[in-house]
């Protein structure tokens, strides 16, 4: 892999890496996820295409029992970028018989391109983008240059001959064709509609507009259609040096999100599209997003490129067109986890959007509000009250995890409450809190009341049989992460409803009427929040991961994990054995202390890091960033940088050999937190922005921006100098840098400090 500050480039087209690089060179816009497949490959896995649409799913191949409805698969839709190229009757597949072949991802403009020369006869350049200015469109530009006189046949198509890939989670492995979720198709002139096998019988309407020129002269081509594809065919005679250029805009609408999808496609097809204009608008949209989200590193390493890749994919995956879908664990990059939404969204990805794109964060939280009825049904199914958000949520808010696993993984409920508070504190968006957030907080609090048990023996409330972030414990009692987030949920609800009663009395009365809420319920919430049990070793100043962790048998982690493979894949232990030992799959208590630093002393944070770090297997991509964040905050900068190098390069270098099944979006968000909250030392809490940086030796400085209370604060760290510049503040913003305090507002917009 070759890096520049804004690009990555690969010359590797070997079968072993072709598909994982396809995921790596993805472009997306929150509606489409378009992997880096080869448009002209007529056979094999690369010719299948790999385009996903947010919220568009087929009937799941996995038939395990779930609570409600059916499981489903993220669906590979019609390949709207299909090309067929033949030179003198011989098919060009874009892979074999090529020289000077490479693919390039330009993160600044969000385009993925390829280049090669085929048999010294034809030079090929392709470019694609998922339009950020109009999310229903994908752009494609193909340039063919004749190296000698030749006869060329060229097809530009919409091709419904696609199927899911059914990737295993690691390489090396054979590609295993999965399901074709298309049950019927209707072909027209440059149009193709397909109906899926999902419970809604979703129909997708796709169309394309083409402009093809030979040496600048437009060519019309002839209509083409077969059983699966439709488009245009061009037969061209070329001399050496001739250049054929195809510019294409494709559009897709679905009746799942647009009842008038067919009419919208009609409107697209009836209005001539300008490729250059669309491309310019797309680039401008990305320029605006980078202007806020970019983190600039003063370094001679490749860290700048790796970090930008993490941010690029985060921005690309976030839905802009609706608040009815959210970000799945693998985004729109692969079928693993079926596009479902986990706790990753609130704890790892959401903070990036809270502080760089608050409107996007609001949509992601509104997704949970829209699915509140489903969460209430899930709680009732399990004999609980209130709202129990699913561990693995489809776009309709239904639990997709098999019954025996989802029952215990309940910290997701508190994670959502935590995220609501973080968003409201950073933005001051009380309208969201009164309209949506308060009801979520109320119903999740009712869930905790019904889920805890009181022990007369010790006078504490307990959460028995739970599964915390340490997923190697099938279930434990009183997982500290779960208990602290449950208590926070209850406290936040009390504070919110108390404030709402005075600040928004009409909305408060409407909420009480809708939910049957009685103010006396808050007495129980306070009682439980103040008495939830957490194991604690007074001598070690150590918070126990759960009620028995510190009493379990120590484990030789090198024996359990002799290679980089996960323990379960190493074959050294079973799930039953794991609960016998002090073993943590991924950051658990350390993540808790990153989220709630004010709840713990410095001594307790150090004790937790030193105790759990050697006991953590890091068998999840969610593990490295919290350790980098915490280590940086504790001044363990060398260790923090070691963890950063893993999380920042996890996908771009395919460190886990499972990028083939999709990118790791929680890790992307974690990388941003490790960088900005860890090394950059940013923390916004209780109305104060604190900056306490700890940069690694390989970075001479860094610059980042934070959206806070309606304004944008730029933080410039260089050596021992830190400068904060505010723009757009409408209220005073207290800041504290290395213990030095100041106040930024519309009059005093810049403050400089020396450490």
Active site residues: 471
Is the backbone of residue 686 left (phi > 0), alpha (psi -120 to 50) or beta? left
Token pair of 290 as six digits: 């980078």
Token pair of 298 as six digits: 């003063």
Distance CA 117, CA 193 (A): 35
The 10 Å CB-count burial string (b at 16+, else e) for 4-39 is eebbbbbeebeeebbbbbbbbbbbbbbbbbbbbbbb
Residues facing 353 on adjacent strands: none
Q: Compute the residue count for the chain.
A: 755
Q: Provide the angle, in degrees to the nearest 10, between the axes of the packed helices 637-649 and 665-673.
A: 150
Distance CA 369, CA 364 (A): 9
Distance CA 46, CA 38 (A): 6
Q: How far apart are the first and last CA of the chain?
A: 38
CB count in 10 Å sphere of residue 694:
17
**Alpha carbon 658 to chain centroid, angstroms:** 16
**Alpha carbon 701 to chain centroid, angstroms:** 27
Radius of gyration of the chain (CA): 27
Distance CA 735, CA 743 (A): 6
The DSSP string of 529-559 is: HTSB---EETTTTEE-SSSSGGGSBP--HHH
Contacts from 119-122 at CB under 8 Å and sequence distance 24+? 119/87, 120/147, 120/148, 121/87, 121/146, 121/147, 121/148, 121/150, 122/85, 122/87, 122/92, 122/146, 122/147, 122/150, 122/152
- The phi and psi torsions of 555 (rounded to 5 degrees) equal -120, 135
Question: Given the structure tokens 């800041």, which residue do they identify?
Answer: 735
Residue 23: partners with Cβ closer than 8 Å, 6 or more residues away = 35, 36, 333, 334, 651, 659, 660, 661, 662, 663
C-alpha angle 670-27-663 in degrees, rounded to nearest 5: 40
Question: Given the structure tokens 């608040």, which residue do they identify?
Answer: 323
Residue 268: partners with Cβ closer than 8 Å, 6 or more residues away = 136, 137, 207, 209, 251
Task: Using alpha carbons, select from 746, 741, 742, 714 the residue that is nearest to residue 731.
Answer: 746
Angstrom CA distances, 661 to 288, 412, 654, stand at: 30, 24, 11
Identify the three-state secondary structure at position 101. Answer: strand
């Amino acid at each position: 892999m070759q890096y520049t500050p804004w690009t990555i480039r690969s010359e590797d087209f070997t079968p072993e890496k072709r598909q994982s690089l396809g995921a790596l060179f993805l472009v997306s816009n929150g509606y489409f996820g378009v992997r880096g497949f080869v448009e002209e490959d007529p056979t094999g896995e690369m010719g299948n295409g790999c385009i996903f649409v947010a919220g568009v799913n087929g009937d799941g191949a996995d038939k395990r029992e779930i609570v409600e409805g059916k499981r489903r698969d993220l669906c590979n839709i019609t390949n709207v970028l299909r090309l067929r190229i033949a030179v003198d009757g011989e098919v060009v597949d874009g892979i074999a018989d090529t020289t000077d072949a490479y693919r390039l991802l330009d993160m600044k403009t969000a385009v993925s391109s390829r280049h090669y020369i085929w048999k010294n006869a034809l030079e090929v350049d392709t470019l694609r983008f998922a339009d950020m200015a109009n999310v229903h469109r994908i752009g494609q530009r193909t340039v063919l240059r004749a190296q000698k006189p030749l006869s060329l046949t060229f097809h530009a198509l919409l091709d419904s001959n696609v199927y899911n890939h059914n990737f295993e989670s690691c390489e090396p492995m054979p590609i295993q064709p999965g399901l074709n979720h298309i049950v019927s198709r209707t072909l027209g002139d440059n149009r193709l509609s397909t109906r899926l096998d999902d419970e809604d019988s979703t129909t997708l309407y796709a169309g394309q507009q083409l402009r093809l020129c030979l040496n600048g002269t437009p060519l019309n081509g002839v209509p083409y259609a077969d059983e699966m594809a439709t488009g245009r065919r061009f037969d061209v005679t070329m001399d050496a040096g001739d250049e054929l250029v195809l510019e294409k805009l494709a559009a897709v609408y679905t009746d799942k999100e647009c009842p008038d999808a067919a009419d919208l496609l009609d409107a697209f097809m009836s209005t001539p599209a300008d490729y250059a204009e669309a491309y310019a608008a797309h680039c401008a949209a990305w320029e605006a997003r980078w202007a806020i989200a970019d983190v600039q590193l003063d370094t001679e390493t490749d860290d700048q490129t790796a970090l930008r890749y993490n941010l690029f994919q985060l921005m690309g995956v976030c839905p802009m067109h609706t608040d009815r879908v959210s970000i799945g664990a693998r985004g729109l990059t692969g079928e693993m986890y079926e596009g479902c939404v986990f706790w990753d969204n609130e704890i790892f990805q959401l903070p990036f959007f809270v502080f760089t794109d608050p409107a996007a964060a609001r949509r992601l939280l509104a997704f949970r509000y829209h699915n509140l009825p489903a969460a209430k049904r899930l709680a009732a199914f399990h004999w609980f009250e209130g709202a129990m958000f699913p561990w693995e949520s489809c776009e309709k808010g239904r639990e997709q995890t098999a019954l025996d696993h989802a029952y215990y993984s309940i910290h997701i409920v508190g994670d959502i409450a935590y995220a609501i508070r973080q968003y409201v504190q950073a933005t001051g968006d009380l309208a969201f809190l009164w309209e949506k957030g308060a009801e979520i907080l109320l119903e999740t609090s009712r869930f905790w009341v019904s889920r805890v048990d009181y022990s007369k023996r010790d006078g504490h409330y307990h959460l028995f049989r739970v599964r915390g972030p340490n997923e190697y414990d099938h279930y434990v009692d009183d997982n500290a992460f779960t208990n602290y987030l449950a208590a926070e949920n209850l406290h936040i609800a009390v504070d919110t409803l108390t404030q709402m009663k005075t600040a928004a009395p009409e909305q408060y009365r409407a909420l009480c009427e809708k939910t049957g809420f009685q103010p006396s319920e808050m007495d129980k919430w306070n009682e439980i929040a103040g008495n939830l049990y957490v194991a604690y070793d007074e001598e070690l100043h150590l918070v126990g991961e759960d009620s028995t962790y510190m009493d379990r048998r120590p484990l030789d982690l090198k024996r359990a994990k002799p290679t980089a493979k996960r323990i379960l894949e190493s074959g050294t232990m079973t799930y039953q054995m794991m609960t016998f030992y002090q073993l943590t799959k991924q950051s658990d208590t350390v993540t808790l202390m990153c989220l709630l630093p004010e709840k713990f002393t410095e001594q307790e944070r150090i004790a937790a890091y030193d105790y759990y770090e050697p006991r953590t297997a890091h068998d999840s991509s969610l593990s490295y960033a919290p350790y980098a964040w915490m280590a940086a905050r504790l001044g363990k900068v060398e260790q923090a940088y070691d963890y950063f190098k893993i999380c920042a390069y996890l996908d771009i270098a395919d460190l886990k050999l499972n990028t083939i099944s999709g990118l790791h979006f929680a890790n992307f968000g974690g990388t941003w937190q490790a960088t900005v909250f860890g090394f950059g030392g940013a923390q916004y809490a209780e109305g104060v922005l604190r900056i306490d940086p700890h940069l690694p030796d390989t970075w001479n400085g860094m610059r980042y921006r934070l959206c806070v209370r309606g304004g944008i604060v730029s933080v410039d760290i260089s050596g021992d100098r830190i400068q904060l510049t505010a723009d757009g503040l409408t209220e005073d913003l207290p800041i504290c840098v290395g213990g030095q305090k100041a106040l930024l507002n519309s009059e005093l917009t810049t403050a400089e400090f020396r450490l």
